[in-house]
Structures are given as C-alpha cells and as structure tokens.
A and B are shown apart, each in its own frame.
Chain A
Amino acid sequence: MAVDVDFDSFPVASKGNRFEDFSEGRTFPHHWGRTITAGDNAIFSTATCNWNPMHLNAEYAKAHGHDDVVVNPMLVLCTVVGLSVEDLSESGGPFLGMSDVVFHRPVHPGDTLTASSSVTEARESASRPNAGVVTWHTKAHNQRGELVVDYRRTNLVVKRGNP
C-alpha cells in the first residue's frame, strides 16, 4: 500500500551559510566540540598509514615526556575543520587551500577541542559570478583554554539563490 504523504512539500531544514553571510570580521563560534579518544587516534593514524610510535605506542610517547600517546596532529586539524564546516563551507564550493597552520601544543587522548573562526577576507570570484572567495582564521582550544592549533583557510563559497 502506498504511503499517502506529499514528501516533496516538506521544507528542508537547511544548513550552512552563503557568500553574503561572510562579512569581514564576523566571528563564528562553532558547534559541538569534540573529545578526541584513544580510539579516534588509533583508527585515524592507522587508516592514513601514519604508524608513528609517538601516535601509537604509549610507552614510547612516555619515554619522550608525554603522559600518553600524542594525538596525530592531522586528526586534530581534520577535526577542527570538521567542526567548522556547517558554519563555513557546507553550502558548497571547493576547498582551495590552507596556510599558516601552527600546532601550538600536543593533544592527548581525552582532550576536548572547541573551535571558532573569523572572516578575514571576502571577495568576488573573477571567474565564477555565482560565487565568492572567502578566507577565515580558525582557532581551536583545549579544555584548559589553551590554543592548540590555528590556521587560515580559503574556499570558494556560492552566493544565495544558487544550488
């Protein structure tokens, strides 16, 4: 028996921002936060062929002054970008690049990251009239309020009224 519901009439609970939302200087405190677990680090590091004992051998890391393994900084970076996607880039447009990525201090399993970004530049795209190029400065802190990583990221961002 067919379900008699007009699903096409349901409005989308839409997500994300468009080019017009990124005025220079606007700051976005990103959602959710993330506690990085030992499992996260082990899965990420092995899946990306990064079998470094500093990330996967706790006794080795302890012999180098850490209390536990050091979370793979690429996982830290991926997570911070992930937390920022809904605010900054979910509505579409290619990830063009990053610069000035600084890992300020190590992250250990159990540490919790939160992130925020501010718009540093927003300009029209010379080649794509339906989009602009936006650069953000993103910072992430741990549960003690210490800066863990910061970087600049640039994306092509579509304008309102475009799919």
Chain B
Amino acid sequence: MTAHVHLTGDGNYFEDFEVGRRMRHARSATIDEVENNFISKQVMNTAQAHWNEAITAGSSFGDGRLVFGLVTGSMTVGLTSQDTAENALAELGLDNVRFRKPVHHGDTLTAYTEVLAAGPADCRDDAGVVRFRHWGRNQHGDVVCELERTVLIKRAGHWRRDAASREEVVSP
C-alpha cells in the first residue's frame, strides 16, 4: 500500500491543510481549442456555442466560442490538483459552484485556494476530509468561477510512517 510514496510530494497530506490556509497555484493555463472546443465535444455537450464560431457572432456573452462552464471549473480544479489532491484517496464532491463571467478562447486562468474545513473521515483513520474553496480568475483579474470541493486525503502520520518503516525493513 505504501510502495509508491516516492511518486507524490510533501506538504499536501491531510495534516498540512490547516483551516484558513491560502494558496495561489503556481501555474496558470490558457483555454483554447483542446481545452474547450475538443473537451466540450468529447463530453457530448451539444450546445454549439461552445464549438461553432459562426453562431456566436453578436452573442450577448461576447463574440467567439463560449467556454463550457465545467471546462473552466475542471481547469480550475486541475490547476489546484498537485497542491490539493496529489495525496488524495478520493474526490468526494463539489458544492456552491458558480460561474461569474463568460470565458472565451485565449483567456488564461489562474487558480486560488482556501482551506475551509478539515476533519476526520468516516470509518477510516488513515485519512481525513478537507473542504476547499477554489476560485478561477482570468488574465484581467476577474473571478470567472468559484466552487467548494471536498477531498479524502491521506494522513502523513499513517502513510509516510508506514513507508519509512517498510524502507527500513527492506534495506540491506
């Protein structure tokens, strides 16, 4: 169970998520053909404003293909994922997902996180449950989406200690 501990980093186990901790995630990403046009069709979102350039001319949401809200949400979560879920066991849910402004091809998202809550998991003592609030902002500084996310995350006290003791056992 602990053999792959070297594949993931430190500083993102359950114990590291004190309530109130804030992070601006280091990498931002531009939304373009692959992220919106392709994924919207991949997930069978039939609303053609996401992938028909001609139909969006003069739209009240602005000219150009409109990014599917959940592509914006998924990118926001993705940009947070190394810092918030690299040592996760499971994604449990989302809540209060809001799309504040339209996003178009060429816009760049930056993700922000605050730890809202951290507590024990039901039925297991090797992990805890952390509730995050995430924000996605565009290159102009406007918040385009926000959401809360609940994740089951390994406790270092269990997973890293077991890994350390196993390494001692197997070392020559």
How many whole Å from B34's CB to the nearest CB in chain A?
Answer: 5
Residues of A within 8 A of B47 (CB): 85, 89-90
* Total count of chain B residues near the partner, CB < 8 A: 47
Q: Is A121 part of the binding interface, using a Cβ–Cβ cutoff of 8 Å?
A: no
Q: Is B117 part of the binding interface, using a Cβ–Cβ cutoff of 8 Å?
A: no
Instruction: Write out, one digit per residue, whether chain B residues 10-50 have a CB within 8 A of any chain A CB (1) or not (0).
Output: 00000000000000000101000011001110111111010
Q: Whose C-beta in chain A lies nearest to the C-beta of B3? A: A63
Given contacts A64-B89, A102-B93, contact A81 B78 (CB under 8 A): no
- Stretch of A1-9, A41-49, A137-145 on the interface side: A41-49
Given contacts A78-B43, A82-B46, A97-B97, contact A48 B70 (CB under 8 A): no
**Contact (Cβ within 8 A) B99 A94:** yes
**Contact (Cβ within 8 A) A15 B93:** no
**Contact (Cβ within 8 A) B45 A53:** no
**Contact (Cβ within 8 A) B46 A53:** no
**Contact (Cβ within 8 A) A90 B46:** yes
Residues of B within 8 A of A78 (CB): 39, 43, 45, 68, 70-71, 74
Instruction: Write out, one digit per residue, whether chain A residues 59-93 have a CB within 8 A of any chain B CB (1) or not (0).
Output: 11001100000100111011101110110011010
**Contact (Cβ within 8 A) A49 B81:** yes
* Total count of chain A residues near the partner, CB < 8 A: 47
Q: Is B170 part of the binding interface, using a Cβ–Cβ cutoff of 8 Å?
A: no
Q: Is B94 part of the binding interface, using a Cβ–Cβ cutoff of 8 Å?
A: yes
**Contact (Cβ within 8 A) B38 A47:** yes
Q: Is B64 part of the binding interface, using a Cβ–Cβ cutoff of 8 Å?
A: no
Supply 10 further A-B pairs (C-beta < 8 A) apart from A44-B42, A53-B4: A43-B42, A48-B78, A49-B81, A52-B88, A74-B73, A77-B94, A79-B43, A85-B44, A92-B49, A99-B95
Q: List 20 A-B contacts (CB under 8 A).
A: A44-B74, A48-B71, A49-B75, A50-B78, A52-B82, A53-B4, A60-B7, A74-B77, A75-B74, A78-B74, A79-B43, A81-B43, A82-B40, A82-B44, A82-B46, A85-B44, A95-B69, A100-B95, A103-B91, A106-B90
Q: Which residues of A are in contact with B by a Cβ distance under 8 Å?
A: 15, 32, 34, 40, 43-45, 47-54, 57, 59-60, 63-64, 70, 73-75, 77-79, 81-83, 85-86, 89-90, 92, 94-103, 106, 151
